[in-house]
A and B are shown apart, each in its own frame.
Chain A
Amino acid sequence: MHLPDGIVPVEMALAGYGASAALASLSLARVRALPDPQSEIPRVAMLTTVFFAASLIAVPVPPISVHLTLAGLMGVMLGWFAFPAILVGLFLQAVLFGHGGVTTLGLNGVILGVPALLASGIWALMGQRWPVPAAFLAGGGGVAASLAIFAGIVLAGLPLALDMQAERVALSLFTAAHLPLIVAEALIVAGALRLLRRVEPRLLPHG
């Protein structure tokens, strides 16, 4: 669910950079307000690697294949750290693998970073009292929100020369193919939290 270079108009790409810069500034300001932000760096570094490597995992859902987004997991585990961590992961994916684009880095930050912040909010609201439903909602909701933002940006940036109807049909099929991913990522978040509770409770998000 990464927008490549050259797909959206330049104005939209610039707007994406503006939105990402604003969200990154907000996130870093909230991080600075934490009592000990340095202590979170190991967790952020490890999860950034997990997010970066997740782009290699392609799950075939005929007629296309889908990639894990891990927006929900990043949000739940990292809170306000999630947005800058996702930006770093997206930059490395674009530069090293050509997955996504450099000009669309800002938009891709919005596509995956905003759902991560939403997942973080869900976990902060519900995580202490109802951890399992909160994990499912954050994981699945992260993918659903990413899909919605991705589809909205693609539709808003369609060039006039394109066959709109054909692109809308293709986008509908693309969205339908990602529906199993909503369930998969809900299970991933719930499973990861369950595993951490048993193996290393210190790594659990604080909620």
Chain B
Amino acid sequence: MWAKGIAMSQRNKFAFALICMGAMLSAHPAAAHAALVEAQTAQAIRLHAVYDTGAPMSHAQVIIFAPDDPARPWGQGVTDRDGRYDFIPDATEGRWSVQVRHAGHGAIVHVNIGENMPMIVRSSVETGWLNRLLMVVLVAWGALGTALFAVSRNGRRDASA
């Protein structure tokens, strides 16, 4: 009887030990509620995509190509309502290419990432209204000259005939 009691006690101890181990193991997932957050500064590329009218390219698709693989996209995204999109490139140095497109319209901008990181890069040179007007006047002048030349030549030909 006493020996049986001892045996029962050992079994209880063993069971108790098993329950404790199970409790410890089951406590492991609960530890996942704890969180570890690291914060570090990083240099990001900020895009601002607009049409030539100045209207933002809202919800346009962004495709990013890293310098080491210009064929496969490194990342993708969508611009916000104001045509803005931010991304943090990895440490790959060289010329990053970013394409922004929306309904068949868009542009590609190249960003050189290295020691001297540029702050502002534009996909094309902006032309002001004065420049545009000047170009139209120059082209109109050229066309008018062509027209007048053709008219005068026809006139001379008619006169000589």
Contact = CB atoms under 8 A, between A and B. Distances in A.
Given A46-B143, A161-B76, A166-B61, A7 B106 contact: yes
A170 B124 contact: no
Given A97-B127, A98-B125, A49 B139 contact: yes
B127 A7 contact: no
Contacts of B59: 166, 170
A127 to B, nearest CB: 24
Interface in A6-34: 6-7
Nearest to B124: A98
B38 to A, nearest CB: 31
A199 to B, nearest CB: 17
B55 A64 contact: yes
B104 A174 contact: yes
- Chain A: interface secondary structure? helix
Contacts of A167: 61, 101-103
A161 B106 CA distance: 15
B156 to A, nearest CB: 12
Contacts of A92: 139
Nearest to B147: A42
B53 A53 contact: no
A45 B150 contact: yes
Contacts of B143: 45-46, 48-49
A105 interface: no
Interface string A50-70: 001100101010011100000
B59 to A, nearest CB: 8
Given A39-B154, A65-B53, A159-B63, A96 B146 contact: no
A13 to B, nearest CB: 14
Most buried by A among B51, B108, B125, B139: B139
A192 B73 CA distance: 49
Nearest to B104: A154
B69 interface: no
A79 B105 CA distance: 29
A151 B52 CA distance: 20
A167 to B, nearest CB: 7
B17 interface: no
Given A45-B144, A150-B104, 19 more contacts: A6-B107, A7-B105, A7-B106, A38-B153, A39-B154, A41-B147, A45-B150, A49-B136, A49-B140, A53-B140, A58-B53, A65-B55, A92-B139, A97-B127, A98-B52, A98-B124, A159-B63, A167-B61, A174-B103
Interface of A: 3-7, 38-39, 41-43, 45-46, 48-49, 52-53, 56, 58, 60, 63-65, 92, 96-99, 150-151, 153-154, 159, 161-163, 166-167, 170-171, 173-174
